[in-house]
């Protein structure tokens, strides 16, 4: 299944390596995108590449390839895969430099793409719903590291994910410094109350998720009232429904948060959006139909 591309060419697994002096390894100095592909077509590739470009610009990193060249590389990697559906990780690092943090000493960025299967959520969790905990680890504030940046520095999220594992939970929710909900460790979060769909705004610390944007668009098309608004833990505990969205996880219903069982899982709004999301994937991938979630 797996395929690899490094600095302009397809390589095997043993060749897919970077220097120990690469600043992406040494300092988390770089940006990335996770991209799904279905029926050998990258899903929402333009949105992912646009976000990658913005992230690189924000940290002063010059992409070593144009977006058109990266798109071609992604197509080459997908063709090299033995399966039609999978997950891509596109990474751009500052490149090889010295042991000092000065990025000016890195002469050229490193670029690589990995294609493989990904199973972030166990099948029984997708069926029964995820168990969440609210982490004590807080989301880094925008004046420290803007949440719109998809950088290689994920230690903040890693620490929160460790809390979830220690609590025997499936995912952790990060709050910001003010105690408001931002997102999960690798996903955006939505709740439903009285038929209204709500998700935290980017200004509170949420990533501008590609899947998040699709869900908001689908909700409007389905006539579901939706809004981006500040949410507190209380809003999660008392929600009628809750679910997670992300490129890797797609859509995941939530059954409990901090040992509070939610009213409905999977709820009716989630199921409508799940069906619409699968139909959208099918349409953009050129399929006539995909398996629908039972309503």
Name the band, by pLDDT with cuts 50, 70 and 90, for residue 288: very low
Mean pLDDT of 262-281: 96
Domain 3-116 has CATH 3.30.470.10: yes
pLDDT of amino acid 150 = 94
End-to-end CA distance of the chain: 33
| Structural element, H or E, at residue 256 | strand 250-257
- Tens-digit pLDDT profile for residues 144-202: 888 889 999 999 999 999 999 999 999 999 999 999 999 999 999 999 999 999 999 99
Long-range residue pairs from 261-265, CB within 8 A, at least 24 positions apart, any chain: 262/129, 263/239, 264/240, 265/128, 265/129, 265/241
Q: What is the DSSP letter of 92?
A: E
pLDDT of amino acid 287 = 56
The SS3 of residue 249 is coil
Domain boundaries, the chain: 3-116, 123-285
Q: Which ranges in the chain belong to alpha helices (H)?
A: 23-27, 45-58, 67-80, 123-128, 155-166, 210-221, 233-237, 268-285
Q: What six digits make up the tokens of 61?
A: 């990193």
Measured CA to CA, the distance from residue 212 to residue 199 in angstroms comes to 9
> Which range is least confidently modeled, 46-50, 103-107, 138-142?
138-142
- Among all residues, which ones are annotated catalytic? 150
Tell whether omega for the bond before 257 is within 30 degrees of 0, i.e. cis. Answer: no
Measured CA to CA, the distance from residue 42 to residue 93 in angstroms comes to 22
Asked if residue 295 has pLDDT above 50, the reply is no
Measured CA to CA, the distance from residue 50 to residue 123 in angstroms comes to 32
Which region holds residue 116: left if phi is over 0, alpha if psi is between -120 and 50, else beta?
Answer: beta
Name the band, by pLDDT with cuts 50, 70 and 90, for residue 286: confident
- Structure pTM? 0.91
Asked if 23 contacts 30 with a C-beta cutoff of 8 angstroms, the reply is yes
Concatenating the DSSP letter of every residue in 204-230 gives GT----HHHHHHHHHHHHTT--EEE--
Q: Percentage of residues in the chain with pLDDT exceeding 70? A: 97
Mean pLDDT of 98-119: 93
The burial of 201, by beta-carbon neighbours within 10 Å (0-12 exposed, 13-18 middle, 19 or more buried), is given as middle
Select the CATH number that applies to the domain covering 123-285 from these four: 3.20.10.10, 3.20.20.70, 1.10.150.120, 1.10.1740.10. Answer: 3.20.10.10
Largest Cα–Cα distance in the chain? 56
What's the per-residue H, E or C state across 31-61? EEEEEEEECCEECCHHHHHHHHHHHHHHCCC
Q: How far is CA 260 from CA 211, 219, 279, in A?
A: 26, 26, 32
């Amino acid at each position: 299944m797996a395929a690899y591309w490094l600095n302009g060419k397809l390589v095997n697994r043993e060749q897919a390596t970077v220097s120990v002096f690469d600043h992406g390894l040494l300092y988390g100095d770089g940006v990335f995108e996770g991209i799904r592909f279905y029926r050998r077509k990258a899903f929402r590739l333009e949105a992912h590449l646009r976000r990658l470009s913005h992230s690189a610009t924000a940290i002063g990193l010059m992409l070593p390839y144009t977006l058109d060249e990266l798109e071609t590389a992604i197509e080459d990697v997908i063709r090299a895969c033995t399966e039609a559906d999978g997950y891509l990780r596109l990474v751009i690092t500052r490149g090889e430099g010295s042991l000092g943090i000065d990025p000016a000493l890195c002469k050229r960025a490193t670029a690589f793409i990995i294609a493989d299967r990904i199973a972030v959520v166990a099948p029984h969790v997708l069926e029964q719903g995820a168990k969440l905990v609210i982490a004590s680890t807080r989301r880094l504030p925008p004046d420290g590291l803007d949440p719109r940046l998809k950088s290689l520095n994920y230690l903040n999220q890693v620490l929160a994910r460790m809390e979830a594992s220690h609590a025997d939970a499936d995912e952790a929710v990060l709050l910001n410094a003010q105690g408001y909900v931002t997102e999960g460790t690798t996903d955006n979060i939505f709740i439903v109350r009285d038929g209204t769909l709500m998700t935290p705004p980017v200004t509170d610390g949420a990533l501008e998720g590609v899947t998040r944007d699709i869900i908001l668009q689908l909700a409007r098309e389905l006539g579901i009232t939706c809004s981006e608004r500040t949410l507190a833990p209380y809003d999660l505990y008392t929600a009628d429904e809750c679910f997670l969205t992300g490129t890797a996880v797609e859509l995941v219903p939530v059954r409990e948060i901090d040992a509070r069982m939610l009213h409905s899982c999977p709820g009716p709004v989630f199921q409508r959006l799940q069906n619409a999301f699968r139909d959208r994937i099918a349409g953009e991938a050129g399929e006539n139909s995909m398996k629908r979630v039972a309503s």
